[in-house]
Structures are given as structure tokens and as C-alpha cells.
Amino acid sequence: MRPSIVILYLTLAIATGRPSNCSESWELDNFKTLVTFGDSYTDENRLGYFGSHNGSAPPVGWDQPVVCPIKCISSTKEGYSTSTGGLVWPRYASIYTNTTLYNYAVSGAVCSNNITPRTWSSINAPFPDIQGYELPAFIADSKFTRPNGSAFFTGTPDNTAYAIWIGTNDLGNDAFLTDSQVANKTLKDYIDCVYDVVDGLYKNGARYFVLMNLAPLQLVPQYATPENGGHVSTKYFPDKGPNVTEISWRMYESVVTVNQVYAYRTPYVTNILTEYPGIKVANFDVNALITDIWTHPSLYLNGTAPLNTTGVVNQCDASGNNCVRSQSPDSYVWFDELHPSEQTDRVVAREFVGVLGGESRWATYWG
């Protein structure tokens, strides 16, 4: 198909699509199951299993424990560690919607280790990725029957939403940001991988998808400019170098580029291609949401200390030691140099509920 025809079809698809604040195909009460994929922004410590089992994956039919009580504010339980220091957004979304959560996210993950492999020193191997581990793990679980004869996975095509939030590590240091990707791989390959995961899930019966675009990584302290609280060095990026402004703007350029492709590729997949009948996709603009939290913190943060958009809840030195936690974590957008705070995650979860209900101003619906 000639590029000019593809552009014409995309224009027609977008022009005839439903308004971004309405979708008759999405009804909150219909969803009973939530399946999530991603990295540390979504992980409930699945990575911890790999670390405590010499790099071995959890067995098929593994019930992931939630050690921290629902009402906890910060992590105080041994063995429970998340990027927010407490609960992460999918757990809150599950609580808010009374859905069963199957969370396959792994901290440190990228979409594919064939594109941007990142070595985890604890196991001297790449972090488990979505394409090579998370997707196959879910598919195996979805077909697993417990010893008592009951199905491990209780979702159906009509009552299950599948959410994918990946890219923070793919675009970050030790990946595209530092030109560490596999030779000849580009951002296109990363985006192709995301939609390949959608393809794999669809073939396994999935029909409702929430694609969460990239967070405003140029604003997180690890990649921000100095005036926005950017750090010269962090435990996640110790060899950052002196030009933090250049790093921030390069990250910004990559994030904007990728998110723009998401906005146009989804309608192409759902409204032009004919291989996905019945597919429903919500593009959740979590980038715009978190940017709004950062820009208008008084609308979202509710801590007792002055609201803080550039600092972090868990302040450590560049080696990750001598950490001091704020006594008012809900006053912050960021938990540490790279991750949103628990309060930010609560907001993401709250708005995710609106996405499932077809009423979110942060989502565009296709299919």
C-alpha cells in the first residue's frame, strides 16, 4: 500500500472515530478481570521472585502474594518492594473496580530483549521482558488448571481488560538514550513490539486493551533539567555525565515521537487492518495526566507538607544509600529519581477506572 493511501486511510479513521470522551463499547460494570504488563511502574515485586530463586521464573499457576495490607501507606513489610514504596496503580485500580488482578509486570523490563537488553547484575542476565517472558507466562497461566480442577485464569474476552505500560527502560539509559540498543534497532522496533504483544494477546482471546503511553520522562528527576530538579547522578544512572540538559531534551524528543506514533497507529490497527475483528483499544494518555499533576499539583496531591513536583519522597545519595523518607509522601509527584509516588499512582488508578468506564478525558477509544 502506497504511503499516500495509508495516510488518507489514517486520516479517515481518525476523523470518523469516536470522541475521546465517550465510548459505548466500554462499561465499567462489565469488567471483572484486569491483566497488566510492564516494568517497575506496574510491578508488585514479581522481580523479587526471580531474585530469590537464582533467576528462575515463577511456576505456571503462581499466585503472586500481596504482602502489604490494602491500607498501608509505605512499605514496611519484609519482602514487599515496589517503585512507589507502597501499592502500585494496578493494585489500586483492582481495589477501586473490585476486579481480579493478574499482574505480570517485572521491574527493569523492556518490551523485548531482542531490541534493548539490559543486564540485571543479580542474575547476570537480562531483566525478563514482556515479549520473551511476561506474555508467554500469562498465556501459560491462562490455560492452566489447578489440581482441584478449577481454572487459574477466570477472565473471559468480554469481562477482561488488558493494560500495557512499557517504555521507561526501553527509552532510558542502557537502552536508546545512551545508544545501547541492539545494532540497527530503532524506536520503530520498540513500537512494533508493543503491537506484537497486542497481537499475541488477541490471538489468545483478548479483546479489550488499554495502551498507556510514555510518562513525561523528561520531568522525572533522573532526566529533568536542573531547573526542574534534575539530578547530576542517580543510583539508576550513575554515569550520567555533565550535560543533563541535553539528556533531558533528547528524552523529551523521544517521548513525544513515540507517543505521537501511538496516537496514530492504534486507529490504523483497529479501523484499517481487518485481522482484528471485535478489538477495542483505549489509548490512555497517561503522559498528559502526569504532566497535569506536575503542572497543577494542588488538584491531585493531598499531603500535609508543601506540595513538591521536583523533589522525591525517598531521598538517597547517588549510590542509593543514606536514604531519608519524607513524612508526607502524598505531597510529592515522585517517589524517587525515576518513579511516580504512591499518590501519583492513586491518581493514575482513579483515572484508569474512568478509562474502563468509557468516560475518561485522558483516553481515546478505537474499534
Residue 16: per-residue pLDDT: 47
> Mapping DSSP to helix (H, G, I), strand (E, B) and coil, where does residue 112 land?
coil
Give Cβ neighbours of residue 237 (< 8 Å, ≥ 6 apart).
172, 173, 222, 337
pLDDT band at 2; cut points 50, 70, 90: low
pLDDT by residue (tens digit) across 332-348? Answer: 999 999 999 999 999 99
**What are the φ and ψ backbone dihedral angles of 364, each rounded to 5 degrees?**
-120, 135
In which residue are the cell numbers 522525591 written? Answer: 312
pLDDT of residue 19: 44
Q: Is the whole-model pTM more than 0.75? A: yes
Dump pLDDT digits (tens) for 37-83.
999 999 998 999 999 999 999 999 999 987 554 444 444 333 356 99
- Split into its structural domains, the chain has a count of 1
C-alpha to C-alpha distance for 39 and 111, rounded to whole angstroms:
9
User: Which three cell numbers mark 331?
Assistant: 505531597
Angle between helices 135-142 and 187-203 (to 10 degrees): 0
* pLDDT of amino acid 334: 98
Q: Could you give the CA distance from residue 112 to residue 132 in angstroms, rounded to a whole number?
A: 7
Q: Is residue 202 part of a domain?
A: yes
Mean pLDDT computed over 103-130: 96
H/E stretch holding 344 reads: helix 342-356
Q: Is residue 116 part of a domain?
A: yes
> Is the residue at 213 inside a domain?
yes
Q: Would 97 be classed as within a structural domain?
A: yes
**Does residue 23 lie in a domain region?**
no
Q: Residue 289: which CATH number?
A: 3.40.50.1110
Residue of 292, 293, 290, 273 whose CA lies nearest to 281: 273
The DSSP-derived string for 207-266 is -EEEEE----GGGSTTTS-GGGT--S--SS-TT--S-HHHHHHHHHHHHHHHHHHHHHHH
pLDDT in tens, 269-301: 999 999 999 999 999 999 999 999 999 999 999
Radius of gyration of the CA atoms of the chain, in A: 20
Q: Is residue 24 part of a domain?
A: no
Above pLDDT 70, what percent of the chain? 90
Look at residue 70 in the predicted model and tell me its pLDDT: 41
In this structure, what C-alpha cell is assigned to residue 89? 496503580
Q: Which residues contact 5 (CB under 8 A, 6 or more apart)?
A: none
What DSSP character marks residue 18?
P
The one-character DSSP state at 134 is: I
The answer to whether residue 205 sits within a structural domain is yes
Give the pLDDT score at 68: 54
What is the domain range of residue 52? 3-17+29-366
pLDDT at residue 304 tops 90: yes
User: Using one digit for the tens of pLDDT, what is the confidence trace for 234-265?
Assistant: 999 999 988 899 999 999 999 999 999 999 99
Distance CA 239, CA 145 (A): 47
In a domain, 22, yes or no: no
Q: List, edge to edge, every strand of the sheet that includes 363-366.
A: 100-103, 33-38, 160-165, 208-212, 280-284, 363-366
User: Mean per-residue pLDDT for 189-217?
Assistant: 98
Distance from first CA to last CA of the chain, Å, rounded? 22
Q: Examine the pLDDT at 4 and tell me if it is beyond 80.
A: no
